[in-house]
Amino acid sequence: MTRPPNLLFIMADQLRADYLGCNGHPSIKTPHIDALARRGVNFTRAYCQAPVCGPSRMSFYTGRYAASHGASYNGVPLRVDERTLGDYLRPLGYRVGLVGKTHMKRDDDGMARLGLDPDSSRGVLVSQCGFEPYERDDGLHPDQLANPDLPYNRYLREQGYEGANPWHSVANSAEGNDGEPLSGWYMRHSHLPARVQEAHSETAYTTNRAMDFIEEAGDSPWCLHLSYIKPHWPYMAPAPYHAMYGPEDILPAVRSDAERERPHPVVEAFMGHGESVEFSRDEVRERVVPAYMGLITQLDHHIGRLADFIEAKGLRDDTVIVITSDHGDYLGDHWLGEKELFHEPSARIPMIVVDPRRGADASRGSCDDRLVEAIDLVPTFTDLAGGDSRTLDHILEGRSLTPLIRGESVADWRRYAFSEADYAWRPARMELGLAPDEARAFMVTDGRWKYVHYANYPPQLFDLARDPGEIVDLAHCDDCRTVRGELEAALNEWFRARRLRTTISNAEVERRTGTAHKRGILFGAW
């Protein structure tokens, strides 16, 4: 038997699928990611399960939809008994490490109830979403919250940078004419270079730490979740990346006046958020998007550096590489900033899978436009590691991508992809006067049509073929009644088919079916 491959699971944060060269961006430079796409499969129609960091990541790590794992928003603890990737890979002999961000919130109440010490070895794994926290860094360290012992801050100090929180004052701030820091929290500074040298930036440092992990892991199989904070805000790139792009390089905002004139009530409430108001201004887009692009090109550079490192270590042929993102960024499209809703800039994600082994030659260099979901990675990794994800189909809600990667014909690939939102936590909910558990929305797409069900509000429907910009809401179009009904039915079916009986496998159910009599329980016997 051949050795199972290492799994390098790279996630960017807030990286739009269309801001990559291999996905058609006309001006961005991502040569290393593009090269990886040529070495693997580029899934061009991949969706995150929730367009916001925490719940999206919990779906990536559990292989389950957000409503199933329950961590529906940032800061919602993941139930202590939700299984994660590490639960599946460690028994297969893998070291499962983390460098970077997970957005995992520990379930303190659940742990206390069960007497699980968060500092015990089990407790650490459960607290860290199943990853060995080789270096966890969730990447947002405003002065109010910053841990004085943050390893990255220690590192910056070792490089000679000063201050209580150089993450902010150096890596995420620019410098004014008089040497004063200009905070990267303010987008008006996004055209300026960060005060940090590129080689000491977060992206560079995170990459270094990934190399440390790989070096240390040696010959036994590993899975490394390398989870970059960028190009997530603060939108502040170090030189030379801050100046690599200009307003002429950015994609035009996808929006129309009609969207503001007759907005959907929930979208309208989001349009009222500060980030949406700002990103609706051209001045903001022209200053911020070039920085966002610079951060992506910088990320690309370090992914290339890491690929070279892997090659130099002789691991290239033993290492499967996945490149994805937790969600996108509106960047002013649809008069919106940030993410959370379901337009393509927000809900669609990059998903590139490079399997260097011969079995994947059939798909090498191809684009695959079948519907893929973030939750597919747990079964995919499990299968790649030598497990059998089918035995977990009472828990996992994603589908293994391995047959697609091997170029096998798959007759019954999924017809629909889903994504969810719990916007209870945003001012939009207050604006709409909703209770916390009323602020829910659900997206379903069949690739051609996208349907959004909002609790308490009418749905939305877009025709992605004729209207790829998702400008014209067809929910009330009489001609679309059939497709609307079909997608609503698919959504309802999806709810009913949720995997919630997680404590017993389907194979075990098969074994037990109709066996009560064999155990002497003779009900109904005359």
Taking Cα atoms as reference points, which of 481, 460, 431 lies closest to residue 263?
460
Calpha distance 298→30 (Å, rounded) = 9
Give, for 368, the enclosing helix (H) or strand (E).
strand 366-368
Q: How many whole angstroms separate alpha carbon 201 and alpha carbon 469? A: 35
Q: Is 145 in the site for a copy of itself (CB under 8 A)?
A: yes
Q: Is 370 in the site for a copy of itself (CB under 8 A)?
A: no
CB 136 to a copy of itself: min, Å: 18
Task: Choose among 43, 54, 15: nearest CA to 298.
Answer: 15
The distance between the two most distant Cα atoms of the chain, rounded to a whole number of Å, is 96
Token pair 């909910």: residue: 429
- When binding is defined by CB under 8 A, the residue of 278, 286, 463, 486 that contacts a copy of itself is 278
x-or-dash string of contact with a copy of itself, 397-426, rule CB under 8 A:
-------------------------x-xxx
Structure tokens at 359: 């079995």
- Amino acid at site 189: H
Q: Give the range of 211-219, 277-285, 290-298, 466-474 binding a copy of itself by CB under 8 A.
A: 277-285
Given candidates 42, 72, 319, 325, which one binds a copy of itself under the rule CB under 8 A?
72
For residue 215, give the 3-state DSSP assignment: helix
Number of residues that bind a copy of itself (CB under 8 A): 87
Region of 367 on the Ramachandran plot (φ > 0 left; ψ -120 to 50 alpha; else beta): beta
Minimum CB distance to a copy of itself smaller for 222 or for 279: 279
- Residue nearer to a copy of itself on the CB measure, 27 or 502: 502
Question: Segment 455-494, which members bind a copy of itself (CB under 8 A)?
Answer: 455, 492
CB of 61 to a copy of itself, least distance (A): 15
Distance between CA atoms of residues 79 and 77, nearest Å: 6
- Residue 8 CB, shortest distance to a copy of itself, in Å, is 26
Q: Are strands 319-325 and 6-12 parallel, antiparallel or unpaired?
A: parallel
Task: Say which residue the tokens 């919630």 belong to.
Answer: 500
Q: How far apart are CA 175 and CA 162, in angstroms?
A: 14
According to CB under 8 A, which residues from 32 to 61 bind a copy of itself? Answer: none
Q: Verify binding: residue 122, a copy of itself, rule CB under 8 A.
A: yes
Which residues are CB-neighbours of 289 under 8 A, at least 6 positions away? 245, 247, 250, 251, 331, 332
Q: Could you tell me the smallest distance in angstroms from the CB atom of residue 104 to a copy of itself?
A: 12
Rounded to whole angstroms, the Cα distance separating 407 from 36 reads: 17
Q: Under the criterion CB under 8 A, does residue 526 sit at the interface with a copy of itself?
A: yes
Taking contact as CB under 8 A, which single stretch among the options 96-104, 185-193, 359-367, 458-466 is the one that binds a copy of itself? 185-193
Tell whether residue 282 is a contact of a copy of itself (CB under 8 A): no
CA 25, chain centre distance (Å): 20
Give me the DSSP letters along 274-326: HHHHHHTSHHHHHHHHHHHHHHHHHHHHHHHHHHHHHHHTT-GGGEEEEEEES
* Closest to a copy of itself by CB, 108 or 212: 108
- Does residue 164 bind a copy of itself (CB under 8 A)? no
95 strand-pairing partners: 222
Among the candidate windows 304-312, 411-419, 474-482, 500-508, which touches a copy of itself by CB under 8 A? 500-508
Applying CB under 8 A, the span of 107-115, 199-207, 383-391, 460-468 interacting with a copy of itself comes to 107-115
How far is residue 508's CA from residue 152's CA, in Å, rounded to a whole number? 47
Instruction: Kindly tell me which residue out of 87, 138, 355, 473 binds a copy of itself, with binding defined by CB under 8 A.
Output: 87
Report the residue number, 3 or 476, with the smaller CB distance to a copy of itself.
Answer: 476
Q: Are the C-beta atoms of 285 and 252 separated by less than 8 Å?
A: no
Among 50, 76, 99, 377, the residue binding a copy of itself under the rule CB under 8 A is 76
Please report whether residue 187 would count as binding a copy of itself according to CB under 8 A: yes
Q: State the binding string over 502-521 for a copy of itself (x if CB under 8 A, else -).
A: xxx-x--xx-xxx----xxx
Tell me which amino acid residue 149 is: D
What string marks each residue from 422 to 451 as x (binds a copy of itself by CB under 8 A) or -? x-xxxx-xx----xxx--x-x---------
CB of 239 to a copy of itself, least distance (A): 22
